[in-house]
Amino acid sequence: MSQSDYLFTSESVSEGHPDKVCDRISDAIVDTYLAADPEARVAVETLATTNRVVLAGEVRGPGSITHDMLIERAREAIREIGYAQEGFHWQTAEVACHVHSQSADIAVGVDAAGEKDEGAGDQGIMFGYACDETDELMPAPIALSHRILKAMAAARHAKKVPFGPDAKSQVTLRYVNGKPVGATSVVVSTQHDEHVTTEEVRETVRPFVVDALPEGWMCPEEELYVNPTGRFVIGGPDGDCGLTGRKIIVDTYGGAAPHGGGAFSGKDPTKVDRSAAYAARYLAKNVVGAGLAKKCLIQLSYAIGVAKPLSVYVDCFGTAEVDQVKLAAVLQELMNLSPRGIRTHLALNRPIYARTAAYGHFGRQSEADGGFSWEKLDLVDELKAAFGATASA
């Protein structure tokens, strides 16, 4: 039997966190290729440390995209994040590019040819999740953790606060009868200017926490931890090495749902690690949005070179208003879950990925140019129609 009264914690990290710097650079490179050729193939990793960035991976795309262009994209990403400090500066950091052509063996196994449809770019399992805890149908702890840091970042970019780009947040919520009712503790660590005191940092951070939490949810004052280790002047890749794909729980559901293990950033949408995780979230969100369940978890699995998913699993944790077996079947009727079908349905072959690299890939607003298309609730009416009066409004 599931526990109904408990504490649950999720964390977020800012766009200036070392790992997120790397995610941003890798996704900027994905966008560069997709802008030039929507069918480009990209799998690029980034490492960042003190005034040094290393790019590595495989691509298949226009030869007009040179190493110099990729190096420039990396610098642009670092500049947009806001790094211009002595130990990590967008202009002076050494950027080494070791990106090369994609393996021909992978291309043969994955590409469409003759009667063979495009296959999955790798084997693996992907999860999507939605719940009714927040308006964005996300678990509340991760949604609130993101909210704090996004507001702080906006103030930093507007030069309203003496903060650096690197920051982390962590929110612990109390659940009663399975529903979040308030925060028991909040942790925020933020890089700051050298002249700012610990007390000043706390007083500057506190309003962001209060504003992010629903009314009446603020934790006790002694449970608000701001820069608990004290000074935090040296941050970003100068303080800690960063790598692409190391914040997969921050990117998804904050630990409230399983994760298949595959990172998103740096991968074009033929890679099911990315596209199928987006599809699973899209379907789960529409199930909850249609009132068919209060929680919905979807697992998809694939084999490299095989178009169809090997399995589609749906679990609504006892909250389903409809038969889950029928629900799984209906979802597969409403969306072609082959790699090509997912990309077509969600229009993923666009340069829309750099913006996903921080503050979560899910729980965002769908955008006019196709960004975050997997957050749309455009299957709600079809799902309700499929189950008739059984669906709750």
Residues annotated within a binding site for L-methionine: 58, 102, 240, 271
Q: Residue 34 is encoded by which pair of tokens?
A: 């997709």
Binding residues for K(+), as ranges, are 45
Please count the CA atoms within 13 angstroms of the CA of 245 that sit on its side-chain side. 16
Residues 6+ apart with CB under 8 A from 273: 121, 122, 124, 126, 260, 262, 263, 264, 267
Edge to edge, what strands does the sheet with 163-176 contain? Answer: 6-13, 163-176, 179-192, 224-226
**Residue among 338, 335, 340 nearest 286 (CA):** 335
Binding residues for Mg(2+), as ranges, are 19
Q: Which helix (H) or strand (E) holds 125?
A: strand 124-131
Binding residues, as ranges, are 17, 19, 45, 58, 102, 166-168, 231-232, 240, 246-247, 263, 267, 271
**Pairwise CA distance, residues 235 & 233, whole Å:** 6
**Pairwise CA distance, residues 47 & 374, whole Å:** 28
Q: Which helix (H) or strand (E) holds 316?
A: none
Please report where in the chains the tokens 């960004």 appear, as a residue.
371
Binding residues for ATP, as ranges, are 17, 166-168, 231-232, 240, 246-247, 263, 267
CB 167 within 8 A of CB 193: no
Classified as helix, coil or strand, 124 is strand
